[in-house]
A = this chain, B = another copy of it.
Amino acid sequence: MTARQLHFNAFLMEAGHHEAAWRLPESNVDADFDLQHWVRLAKLAEDAKFDSLFLADGPALQGSGEFRPPGQLEPLTLLTALVAATSRIGLIATVSTTYNSPYNLARRLASVDHVSGGRAGWNIVTSATQREADNFGLDFTLGHGARYERAAEFLDVALKLWDSWEDEARVGDKAAGRFADPERIHPIRHRGQYFRVEGALNVRRPPQGYPLLVQAGSSDDGKQFAAAYAEAIFTAHQTIERAQDFYADIKDRARRIGRDPGGIKVLPGIVPVIGSTEAEAQQLAQQLDDLRVPEYGLLQLSTILEVPADSLALDESLPRSVVNRPTVEGFQSRADLIVELATREDLTVRQVLSKLGGGRGHHTVAGTPEQIADTITTWFENGAADGFNVMGPALPSGLEAFIEHVLPILRSRGLFREDYTGTTLREHYGLEKPANQFHVRELTRV
């Protein structure tokens, strides 16, 4: 198969992406801290030849805990614990540039890439909420622009650190007692606005050069950052038109700064609610919707929209003050998406919550396997997606159903791999191992 192929990322979440999934009779109520739950999901996704699996994160409790599991294992730790249970699938974790230091984080990510044999990916986030800031001694979050400014400098430092060992640095000459060539281990001597880092990293260059760089912010700052650094983008769109606009915009931004647009894979989220008939799918969607606790959704919505929960009345529209104001500082693109959705479909707050319950704004498709495969194919073939971030509403059942019923249809259309052809995450996504910025300098100097 040489035709353009779909990429699939399994976005994992304790009992599922639907906020009430943990209440289903079959759900493991301790999924969040049960390593075996995650091992099972990872193996499922790898057996099905997914490019990667992915863990979202934020360094704070999500809500009060009353209505939904509010915490989770630290994602790089969980990913690392999954290394031994898997051998090919890529492992992507979310880590914040706002609440970490580049030296420590670059080192951790390099280490995960080493122990996994080149399967690490980093979903770069800038952390929008005050709840997160409060765990790190900051009175206020950095503004949206400053967060991305810091993130860009963070990436520049991390890239230099990952390159600080040339591949040829390790000499290993036992007879001469010469372990490495210090001329090929480069202090980075970074002096910037946010960071001063001397380097070199104390970890050799990772097998992939550096971990796959993933980004999920869709604001203007987020898109510009993604165009500059990202190799894969997770994004949320309710309609193919919006997804197409986003796709074209990203590829165009990449082109304008001299990057190959094919080097950035765009993966919108999809929440597949699968039934053998459309009615059966609707029934499953209804079952999950009935299990929602409205107070929970209200709290989440108020956080994203940055308004007090009691300013939102369940059976009324979103307040005019929310609809008409300029965009928020935190979850910009998600807040815009919700306001647009509510306005376009003239929804009450209760209806908005129902729409968001399954995937927090990601595209939910309830239908037969054929209908879901058709949606995927249409988006893929019409400039809206290079692949998808697959978000099972309940887990593992939602992932199992997708693998068992939807993937065979896409395979029969020649759109998805039968087996892995590479061994690294970068290879699954069809991306090259990046050149070492210091090696080039070295060659010209010698």
Binding site for B on A (CB under 8 A): 20, 22-25, 27, 29-30, 32-33, 35, 58-62, 64-74, 76-78, 80-81, 83-85, 99-101, 103-104, 107-108, 110-112, 114-115, 131, 134-137, 169-170, 172, 174, 177-182, 185, 195-204, 291, 293
Contact = CB atoms under 8 A, between A and B. Distances in A.
Contacts of A136: 101, 103, 197
A202 B61 contact: yes
8 contacts: A25-B174, A33-B204, A35-B114, A59-B107, A64-B180, A66-B182, A68-B179, A101-B136
A74 B29 contact: no
Contact of A137 (B107, B196, B202): B196
A72 B77 CA distance: 17
Given A103-B135, A136-B101, A195-B137, A203 B73 contact: yes
Nearest to A192: B137
A84 B30 CA distance: 20
A177 B60 contact: no
Given A30-B172, A77-B76, A70 B137 contact: no
Nearest to A23: B174
B177 A137 contact: no
Nearest to A188: B135
Given A65-B182, A71-B203, A179-B68, A174 B29 contact: yes
A100 B111 contact: no
Contacts of A179: 22, 29, 65-70
A20 B78 CA distance: 35
A159 to B, nearest CB: 16
A177 B83 contact: no
Contacts of A178: 66-67
